[in-house]
Structures are given as structure tokens and as C-alpha cells.
Structure 1
Amino acid sequence: MEIAVSQPALHTDPDQVLIRRMAAGDEEALRVLYAAYGRRLFAYAYRLTGSRAAAEEVVQDTLLAAWKGAAAFRGDSRIVTWLLGIVHHRALNLLRRKALPSDTLEEAAERADAGAGLTELAEASERRKALTLALGQLSGEHRAVLELVFYQGLSLAEVAEVLRCPVGTVKSRLSYAKVRLREALARQGWRAEDVL
């Protein structure tokens, strides 16, 4: 009787290949990584900092850290989880160092969909303002959990990895944040379902 021994499959995950290429000094791999995840990283950085310039700085710092740390990436998590973790910690460090001005409502309106009618734009602006005010009443750790779960689509385990805390802590922060967000929106006369 013959026993077949299987050979380990070659790891062909495109993200893992990119990281290996970056570790080998391939700058094109970094450009591909940015093309794949840059918008998502920027969106998270912007939500944390409230400033376009600060978000751009955070993303640039994140990509530099990813470039330098590519060889040390163990592959225990998805690449996006690793990158969002870097963004999270870089943004918090930046917020500790500087008081950042938020983008103005006019700047946000300039970036809004040009095809939207004035009524829709005004309503969207009011919803955004209400949500921003409500989120501003939460602590940074509670805002981060909401952002990572609902906007970035991470699992609770991935959020725990990004925030470097137990999954149970993520669950309790998420539950607390959802209740407080609903309350803050209600105080402004909004239902969470109408804003989110």
C-alpha cells in the first residue's frame, strides 16, 4: 500500500505576492497595493482625522511603513487588516501631536456628486452634519469600532487585531457605540435609519 504525501500548495494569494515583491524592493508592487487599497485607507484616515491633508499624510506614512515592514509581515491577517491597523495608529499619533482643522462644509459640498439636485444635496448635507455631530459625541475608540465594522466591513476578529484588543472588547464597544449613536441622533430629531 502506497501513502500519498501531498505537497504544500504554492501561496498564490495576490496580496501575499505583492507583499513579497515589496519586501524584495519592487516599487511597482507598492503602486499596485496603493491602487488596490488607497481609497479605502484614505476614507478611514479621513473619518478619523476629519482633515483631507491629515488623511493624506496618514496614508503616505502608512504606505511608507508597509514598504519598510513588508519583510516582517507574517501573513496572519489579511493585508487590508494590517494596513488599516497602521492607518489607525498613525492617525491617532497624528491627532495626539496636532490640533487638526476639519474640512469645511463648503469643501465637502465641492466633493459631492455634481449630478445631485440642490434639495438632495441639502438633505445629504444635513444628514452628514447630524451624523458627524453624533459621532463627535463618541470616544475615539467607539468611533473607530463603528468605522471598521460598518464602513470598512471588517469582521470583529479583524477589528480586534487592528485595535489590538480582545474580540469581547470590540463587541462591547460596538454595542455601546450603536446605542449612544442612536441616542445622539434622536436628540437632534433624527432616526438612525434615516441617517445611516
Structure 2
Amino acid sequence: MNEDSKVLLKKIGEGDEKAFADFYMMYENRLYRFIKSKLNDSSEASDILHETFMEVWRKADSFEGRSKVSTWLFGIAYYKTVDRLRKRTPVPMSDEDMPELEDTNPDAMACLLSQEKNRHVTYCLETLKVAQRMVMQLAFFEDLSYGEIAKIVDCPENTVKTRMFHAKQAMKRCLAGRMGEGK
């Protein structure tokens, strides 16, 4: 797919609208999921997706091929998402936001516990510093290597490893506190 992407980018750089449409179709869903996982807002995610692809249209001819096309593309989306996050304050979910569930199914308790664990993980992810949250999400949800993440966030690979270490430690502390462990 990377070679196809490079060919499409070259054509986009020459103004080929069909190549742009093909490139868009190739990456739209994956990139949207990535952006939405950071913002948790469909409307904002759609806006940033559009901004990212407009940047691709304008800068396709500047792609130098020193990284994978997807790394370059996710880098653009990453910076646009970080800019948007800096402009707003995250609102963590409160316990009141959880709907009341009636126990009508023998598996209802298991579902409730699973939902609660997911809520704790989501809350703890939101409490991380933006840089830590981004490397964690790129590694675990986008399955990118530390080297690819380093290119996306434009920092040394060892910095990515350090951010990941601190993110994992913060997640452990937060989850232990929220789930009542270690008391």
C-alpha cells in the first residue's frame, strides 16, 4: 500500500483530482478513527479530517519519501489534533453520565463491570499529558512502532519511549486509584 500511496501523492502533487479521491478513500476511515479517538467529537474529527486532507492537497509535492506515507499523513493529523486540543479543556466523564441499567440478564453484571472498566480507562487516558496520551494511542490503537511515532510527533525515539514509560506509570496509578486497588 505504501508504494501505491507514494504514486498517488506524486500525482496529487501534480494536481490529479482522481488520485486525490483515491488517496482519500484509502485513508479516510483509519485517519478519522485516529482523530476521533483523540477528540471524542464526531464533528470536530470531521473538521480535522477535512483540514488534514486539504493540507495533503496543498503539500503533496513536498513529501520527500523519508518516511512511510501513512506516517507523514498521521503526522499532519496529529498536529492538527493537538492544536485543537490546546484550544479546549477536556471534560472527563462523571459517574452521573453513566445510564442506569436494570439487571434483566444474567450477564448484565459482567457487562456493567466491563463498561465501568472502559470508563476508567477512558478517564485515565484523558488525565494524561497530551504528549503522553498521543504516544500511547498511536502505539496501542494505531499499532505504530516507536520509530514511526517519533517521526509523527517529531521527536527522538528515546523521547517516545520515555513518554510511553511515564504514560504507563500514570495509567497504572490512575487505574489503581479509580478501581480501589492498592488500598
Q: What TM-score, normalized by structure 1, do the two folds share?
A: 0.77
Does the 8 Å CA contact 1:50/1:102 hold for their aligned counterparts? no
- Residue equivalent to 2:104: none
Verify the 8 A CA contact 2:9 2:61 in the aligned structure 1: yes
The C-alpha deviation readout for 1:48-106, integer Å capped at 9, x for no partner, is: 22211111111110000011110111011111111111011111222233557789xxx
- Residue in structure 2 matched with residue 165 of structure 1 by the alignment: 155
- Rounded Cα–Cα distance in structure 2 between residues aligned with 1:124 and 1:22: 45
Aligned pair in 2 of structure 1 residues 75, 127: CA closer, same or farther (>3 Å)?
same
Q: Name 1:112's counterpart in structure 2.
A: none
Rounded to whole Å, the distance in 2 between the matches of 1:91 and 1:188 is 28
CA contact 1:145–1:173 (8 Å) conserved in 2: yes
Letter in 2 for 1:80: S
- Residue 180 and residue 97 in structure 1: after superposition, are their counterparts in 2 closer, same or farther (change >3 A)? closer
Q: Which runs of 5+ in 2 are unaligned?
A: 94-98, 100-106
5 Å matches for 1:23-38? 23-38=13-28
Alpha-carbon distance, 1:124 to partner: 4.5
Q: Which residue identity does 2:156 align to in structure 1?
A: P
| Distance in 1, Cα, partners of 2:24 & 2:109 | 36
Equivalent residues in 2 for 1:76-95, closer than 5 Å: 76-95=66-85
Is residue 71 from structure 1 mapped to residue 61 from structure 2 by the alignment?
yes
C-alpha displacement at 1:165, in angstroms? 0.7
Counterpart CA distance in 2 for 1:85 and 1:124 is: 33
Shift of 1:120: 6.6
Matched, 1:46 2:36: yes
Q: Is 2:146 aligned against 1:150?
A: no
Matched, 1:135 2:125: yes
Query: C-alpha distance in 1, partners of 2:47/2:86?
Result: 14
**1:176 is matched with which residue?**
166
CA RMSD of aligned residues (A): 2.7
CA offsets 1:160-180 (integer angstroms, 9 cap, x no match): 111111111001001111111
Q: Which amino acid aligns with 2:17?
A: E
Q: Distance in 2 between matches of 1:96 and 1:134?
A: 18
How far residue 128 of structure 1 moved from its aligned partner, in angstroms, is: 2.5
SS in structure 2 at match of 1:13: helix
Q: Distance in 2 between matches of 1:150 and 1:190?
A: 25
Instruction: Give the aligned residue type for 1:41.
Output: L
Aligned CA distance change for structure 1 residues 127 and 36 (closer, same or farther; 3 Å): farther
Over the matched positions of the two proteins, sequence identity in percent amounts to: 27
